[in-house]
Amino acid sequence: MAHALVAALLLCCGALPAHAAGDEAQVLVLYGLDPFIPSFLAMDKAMREDLVAATGGNVLLFDESLDSQRFSLETLEPELAALFGMKYQAQHIDVVVAVSRTALDFFERHGEQIWPGARVVYVGFLGYESRPSVLPPGASAVLSILDVAGTIDIARRIQPGARRIVVVSGTAEIDRTAEQQAREALAKRHERVPVEYLTGLPLPELVARVAAEPPDSTVLFLAQFRDRDGRPYGAMEAARAVINASRAPVYGAAEPFIGLGVAAGSVSSYETKGRLVGEQVRRALAGGPPDPRYTVLEAPNRCVVDARALKRWSLDAQRVPGDCEVRFADVPIWREYWRQIGLALAVILAEALLIGALLFQRRKRRFAEQAEHGLRFELAHANRLAVAGELTGAIAHEINQPLGAILSNADAGDLLLDSGKDERDKLRDIFADIRRDDLRASEVIRRLRGLLGRHIVEREEFDLNDVVDDLQSILHAEARRHGVAFDMQAAQEALPILGDRIQMQQVLINLVLNAMDAVGEVPELRRTVTVSLAKGDNGAVLAVRDRGQGIALGDQARLFDAFFSTKSNGMGLGLSITRTIVEAHGGRIWVESVPDEGTLFQAELPLAAANGASAPHLA
């Protein structure tokens, strides 16, 4: 089964046999060192992008690594050569990209056997490795140059007052080559400040040594792939530790060190180098002898400065040479695009002004509305307090009644216990009554609590009949106090409305107290107030009727105006607030009055959506 699958794969994707590859370009990248060194990665990426873009994806890339930095090529070379020979026996290679001198040397020794007919593009790092005296036939080279001299020059310009120069490098071959560059460059400059070379120090010692360096020194980090004990290092490992530990500014000549935190350096861009390599590979693929003008290309060096590092080491940005590229700076966008930004800002400002003006107008209106709303809320609260004040006597009565009963029951219980007789049944009755009266008192408070506090207006569904039940006892007590015959009936059916229950209590109390006032002066037989709730055509109808003296026709129209009152001690708020509340609930209120006959107030409130209409009335 697995066999069949492999066979099928081979059949359908027949690219594997070299000679069946058609006109696809076959390129091998041979790394002399660890291919995952950041600068190699950057370069590799740029090269591949260039090749893929230029060939329309019609390129097949292979990678091999000698990793001579970490493994001894001298002992492994025969075996590696044999291995590659077997690997590439059936795989034709058009171009070998030899990255580093080690790879180029390996190609010169074994290339003809392993990759017959392949042309070579050498990617070199002058300064880290020596320049080959002769290139193989048909070869071309892309070189970057370790510019230690340029980097020292930049360091001296940024930090002219430095008292010492410290050069850090390792013991690997390329470390030593780089150090040699530095020695030559510094000798040429005839520096008067002392120079110290820290060569191949193990990392802890190196870090301690660098950390002890005063801030007015200049540290030049070259490379450390290996220390004097033979311990290998990752490409960035030592650099990172030195940069982090140093109180003195650190400079470096390789591009990846810039982002790592060195202050500045003369570096060549590996991205540029990668594109140049891609270009050379394409020339080689095209065949024919290499154009002598392009046989050796040098990736240019340029000064790059890290703005964050300048800040960290308090270096004077004014001293940075004018041709340096400043990376990681805070404000370059503004400098670069000031025209566009200025225009955008102007547009935004204009829009903001317009929006601001509109918002200001809206706010003004909102404030006015809020002020009015707040005032009405305050008035409603004041009216509720006034109403509660009027009802104090009735409330006290309704609470004292059960409290009195509780006390007397408890006293009776005491006496029964003192009598020494077994009166358990009587005591049980007493406890039952005490409990009932206690609930009754707390019920009075519960039902009226909302009236007394400053409450947040709610919007919930409730049965208007509940409001009548809430106030039944208290309004009856009040009626007794006024010597008024009072009758209040809830409706037979449920009257669900949407709104605030406390406000509806307020409406009912206002209307009933008004009615009781209205019958205050009439003969005793006519002192009646009747309240009824019913379901009308357009919703719930609350009717409050009195047999008082009636309201003069001229006054009826103004009855609901604020501060209009027919009473000598009236504030003229009750009916105004009542109407406000009723209208806030989507209802209306009106009055019919016949002088010397009586008055009928009716409030009509819309019922809540159908779901409540069929609910049973449980009151």
Partner 1 sequence: MSTTPLIHVVDDDPSMRGALLRLLDAAGFDARGYSSTGEFLLHPLPERPGCLLLDLRLPGPSGLDLQAALQQRDIRLPIVFLSGHANVAASVRAMKAGAVDFLTKPVKRDVLLDAIGRALERDAMQRRAREEADLLRARFESLTERQRQVFERIVAGRLNKQIADDLGVAERTVKREREQVMVKLEASSAAELGRLAELLRHPAAG
By CB under 8 A, name the binding residues for partner 1. Answer: 393, 396-397, 400-409, 411-416, 419, 426, 429-430, 433, 436-437, 440, 480-481
Minimum CB distance to partner 1 smaller for 474 or for 507: 474
Query: Which residue bears the tokens 């013991």?
Result: 171
Q: Which helix or strand (DSSP H or E) is residue 310 part of? A: helix 307-312
**In the complex with partner 1, which residue's Cβ is closer, 82 or 407?**
407
- Cβ proximity to partner 1, 359 vs 415, nearer residue: 415
Rounded least distance, CB 525 to partner 1, Å: 13
Read off the tokens for 471.
């106030």
d(CA 359, CA 208): 62
Q: Which is nearer to partner 1, 196 or 438 (CB)?
A: 438
What count of residues does the chain have? Answer: 619
As a three-state string, the secondary structure of 333-348 is HHHHCHHHHHHHHHHH
Relative to beta strand 95-99, strand 119-126 is: parallel
Cβ contact 515:545 at 8 Å: yes
Smallest gap from Cβ 411 to partner 1, in A, equals 4
Q: Write the CB contacts of 375 (distance below 8 Å, at least 6 apart in sequence).
A: none
Three-class SS state of 604:
strand
Smallest distance, partner 1 to C-beta of residue 399, A: 9
Helix H or strand E segment including 266: strand 264-268
CB-wise, 362 or 435, nearer to partner 1?
435
Count CB neighbours of 62 within 10 A.
Answer: 15
DSSP string, 95-136: EEEEESHHHHHHHHHHHHHHSTT-EEEEEEEETTBPPPSSPP
Q: Using the minimum distance from each CB to partner 1, give the nearer residue, 419 or 614.
A: 419
SS3 at position 256: helix
When the beta carbons of 268 and 473 are compared against partner 1, the nearer one is 473
**Smallest separation, CB 557 to partner 1 (Å):** 38
At its nearest, how many Å lie between partner 1 and the CB of residue 474?
A: 12
Q: How far apart are CA 90 and CA 17, in angstroms?
A: 7
Instruction: Tell me which residue of 490, 465, 459, 495 sits closest to 612, measured CA to CA.
Output: 495
Residues forming a β-bridge with 141 = 122, 296
Nearer to partner 1, 76 or 405 (CB): 405
Phi, psi of 581 (to 5 degrees): -65, -45
CA geometry: angle 351, 356, 361, nearest 5 deg: 135
Nearer to partner 1 (CB atom), residue 90 or residue 407: 407
415 φ/ψ sector (left φ>0, alpha ψ -120 to 50, else beta): alpha
Residues linked to residue 27 through DSSP beta bridges, in sequence order = 61, 95
Q: Which is nearer to partner 1, 172 or 406 (CB)?
A: 406
Q: How far apart are CA 539 and CA 605, in angstroms?
A: 5
Shortest approach of partner 1 to residue 407 CB, angstroms? 4
Shortest spacing between CB 393 and partner 1, in angstroms: 6
Closest approach of partner 1 to the CB of residue 618, in Å = 24
Question: CB-based burial of residue 530 (10 Å sphere; 0-12 exposed, 13-18 middle, 19+ buried)?
Answer: middle
Q: How far is the CB of 480 from partner 1 (least distance, A)?
A: 6
Q: How far is the CB of 427 from partner 1 (least distance, A)?
A: 10
CB of 528 to partner 1, least distance (A): 14
Give φ, ψ of 297 to 5 degrees: -110, 140
The number of beta carbons lying within 10 Å of the beta carbon of residue 23 is: 6
Nearest C-alpha neighbor of 121 from the set 367, 297, 315, 341: 297
Query: How far apart are CB 433 and partner 1 at their closest, in Å?
Result: 6
Of residues 178 and 477, the one with the C-beta less far from partner 1: 477
The number of C-alpha atoms within 13 Å of 167 and in the hemisphere containing its C-beta is: 24
> Residue 16 or residue 396: which is nearer to partner 1 going by CB?
396
Nearer to partner 1, 247 or 440 (CB): 440
- Among residues 484 and 490, whose Cβ is nearest to partner 1? 484
As beta bridge partners, residue 140 has: 121
Distances (CA, A) of 318 to 56, 217, 321: 47, 19, 8
Residue 405 CB, shortest distance to partner 1, in Å, is: 4
Min. distance of Cβ 531 from partner 1 in angstroms? 18
Query: Which residues lie below 8 Å from residue 31, measured CB to CB, with a gap of 6+?
Result: 40, 63, 64, 65, 66, 67, 99, 100, 103
Closer residue to partner 1 (CB): 348 or 432? 432
Please report how close the Cβ of residue 472 comes to partner 1 at its closest, in angstroms: 15
